[in-house]
Chain A
């Protein structure tokens, strides 16, 4: 809610800023500062500036209809709203934990909308926007955070694997799945999501090795949101993350993770590359986690407010909104309708979560083994008898 209204306020300001003269000024300032970190940022693939200005890139172009652009906007707003609702539900005690995606909407919607239905996604635990793009009912994502299950959806119904909490593990599953796709002779691709913190994990390194030597059709999509709980990216790497790919023998590209158009274009190209047998790509979406790592975290202990404020100026939703307005692709009535839709989504999420029943006690013993297991059978029967003993006592 707060975030939405902040975004709305800033839109007005952002719209006012859009004079050509003012655009030139920050560019100059940037060149003068020329800190190494900023020089790296200059290599970002960007198609939509933080000011909502459309720019071209020699390698990555995109041509979307007004309808498609509005679709991306809608995806981002609804995803942010869902996320905000989940955060609120956690604060109200309805969820045990929540990992917010606030700030990463463009990275997730851009990459998610680049996928084809027959592509397969291996997420970490923050990919609510990608799940949205895959058509996973957002309320399904809340089961594990509410504590009614440990996963809870059928990965094959939307080609969206379960959330993986051990960071980096899923990059190997994605690689193996992609090796299977390759063996099947299929032309779909696989995408693995992970974060800057996970890039330090051995499994991520091993997945790079395996995918490279087998030329597996997999795209590694790293959302570098700058923080792994309280550890900054400098604690994970001495080189920009996208450059790691070179050592494994495949390309790496850094994209403005707050630019939904660039994320879409770069991911599409990487997926196309995978499909055509050219192997893996590492995409580093340079973005920012505007909220806490999870609701258990307190970022005020380790990062400065100014940092967040600087990133707020690069807000992914805000810049697309500015662009839509300036180009006349959307009007206030459209934005109002999205706002209405997002209210309805929030309401539905609230209602569904609160109505989510605790699982039956016997669920403890369900689905542990596909082919059954004598010990599970024995303990299930004992537990059932134990529970039944209470019922008998009451009846007596």
Chain B
């Protein structure tokens, strides 16, 4: 147990996997290149060396196989944490996740549990090629039986992973890959927030910016700029995409009366759509402006030379802040 003053988000996940494996011999790590290489992002660096090939399992290059066998191991009493190398590669496993993993607990009338964690490095901003920058979280959050989370900082990355592994439910853990190298404080002896609770990352009074994962930093930066312009913007780090902590959003919006939701995924039928609809229902008489959304377009993720246009940046977020405040 330790306090890290400056630890990267990826190293925090590594520490979390390590601590979870030490705490419970049933925890396994599986995926392509997770062993000697330590994963293409080095998130599992050193784990195979310390825990052996039996617990840190390099798998064939077959995503459905990775998830499908993880389900089988969970049925046998193990707690596998599988790595999908990149967001766009999860689709070969989508069938196993949606038709099998999500439903098995219900189909067995609660008699079996399938505590599988699926780690997906997701999102853009790293100049990658096709299929390496997508944000498919809404596709998973839409499926009953799955839980989805995305940390935005090192401390959450550590604690949310530990909690995801301890959960008896399948959890899709979206890792903001462009924040892997961002550093933050981590106290491994702290008492963490519950897994599915949103957090006020920056208090404010005029408007709420709600985001998760990679967009939290963009929103914090936007709040800083807005503050220089005399606007007090609250930033809510949702942390969890299924379930969404609507109570926290509601409580923030009842104070600020304006809401802008920011995510990298396409706006159409995305996480923001659900939040806008629910918050309109819950906070109709509190709202001074329509709930606005900032996100990706209804377009395939563009070639990386165009990703800065596609991804919500400071300007697009501030523009939405201005529009909401203009009502």
- A sample of 24 inter-chain contacts (CB < 8 A) reads A150-B107, A151-B106, A152-B109, A154-B111, A162-B104, A166-B100, A172-B72, A173-B71, A173-B72, A177-B76, A178-B72, A180-B76, A202-B92, A206-B68, A207-B68, A209-B62, A210-B69, A366-B106, A367-B105, A371-B167, A371-B168, A371-B169, A373-B243, A374-B245
Give chain A residues whose Cβ lies under 8 Å from the Cβ of B245.
374
Establish whether residues B109 and A175, one from each chain, have CB atoms under 8 Å apart when the complex forms.
no
Question: Closest residue to A192 on the B side, CB-wise?
Answer: B72
Contacts of B109 in A (CB 8 A): 149, 151-154, 366-367
Q: Contact check: which of B64, B111, B196 meets A374 at CB < 8 Å?
A: B196
Asked if A69 is at the interface (CB within 8 A of a chain B CB), the reply is: no
Least CB distance from B238 to A in Å reads 13
Task: Determine if B70 is an interface residue (Cβ-Cβ < 8 Å).
Answer: yes
Given the contacts A169-B95, A181-B76, A213-B60, A373 and B147 also touching, CB distance less than 8 Å:
yes
Query: Which residue of B68, B169, B196, B242 is within 8 Å of A172 (Cβ)?
Result: B68
Q: Is the CB of B69 within 8 A of A175?
A: yes
Convert A152-184 into 0s and 1s, putting 1 for each residue whose CB lies closer than 8 angstroms to a CB of B. Answer: 111111000110101001011111111111011
When the two chains form their complex, are residues A172 and B78 in contact, meaning their CB atoms are under 8 A apart?
no
The smallest beta-carbon distance between A103 and chain B, in angstroms, is 28
**Which residues does B use to contact A, with CB under 8 Å?**
54, 59-60, 62, 64-65, 67-78, 92, 95-96, 99-100, 103-113, 115, 144-145, 147, 167-169, 196, 242-246
Taking CB atoms, residues of chain A closer than 8 Å to B105 are 367-370
Say how far B189's CB is from chain A's closest CB, in angstroms.
24
Q: How many angstroms between the C-alpha atoms of A171 and B62 in the bound complex?
A: 14
Known: A176-B70, A177-B73, A203-B96. A154 touches B108 (CB 8 A): yes
Q: How many residues of A contact B (CB 8 A)?
A: 45
Judging by beta carbons under 8 Å apart, are B113 and A173 in contact?
no
> Which 10 A-B pairs give the minimum distances between C-beta atoms?
A176-B72, A172-B68, A180-B76, A176-B69, A151-B107, A206-B65, A370-B168, A154-B111, A367-B110, A177-B72
Interface, chain A (partner B; CB < 8 A): 122, 149-157, 161-162, 164, 166, 169, 171-181, 183-184, 202-203, 206-207, 209-210, 213, 366-371, 373-376
Q: Which of B54, B76, B107, B196 contacts A176 (CB 8 A)?
A: B76
| Residues of chain B with a CB closer than 8 A to A173's CB | 68-69, 71-72, 75, 100
Given contacts A153-B109, A172-B71, A180-B73, 17 further A-B contacts (CB under 8 A): A151-B108, A152-B109, A154-B109, A155-B111, A169-B99, A172-B68, A172-B96, A174-B72, A177-B76, A180-B72, A183-B54, A206-B65, A207-B69, A370-B105, A370-B110, A373-B147, A373-B169
Q: Which residue of B lies closest to A169 (CB)?
A: B100
Q: Is the beta-carbon distance between B108 and A162 smaller than 8 angstroms?
A: yes
Say yes or no: B144 contacts A368, CB within 8 Å: yes
Give the distance in Å from the alpha carbon of A157 to the alpha carbon of B106 in the complex.
Answer: 16
**Distance between Cα atoms of A371 and B115 in the complex (Å):** 10
A169 to B100, CA, bound (A): 8
CB-CB nearest in chain A for B54 = A183
Q: How far is the CA of A207 from the CA of B66 in the complex (A)?
A: 10
Shortest Cβ gap from B96 to chain A (Å): 6
B27 → A minimal CB distance (Å): 12
In the complex the two chains form, what is the Cα distance from A123 to B170 in whole Å? 22
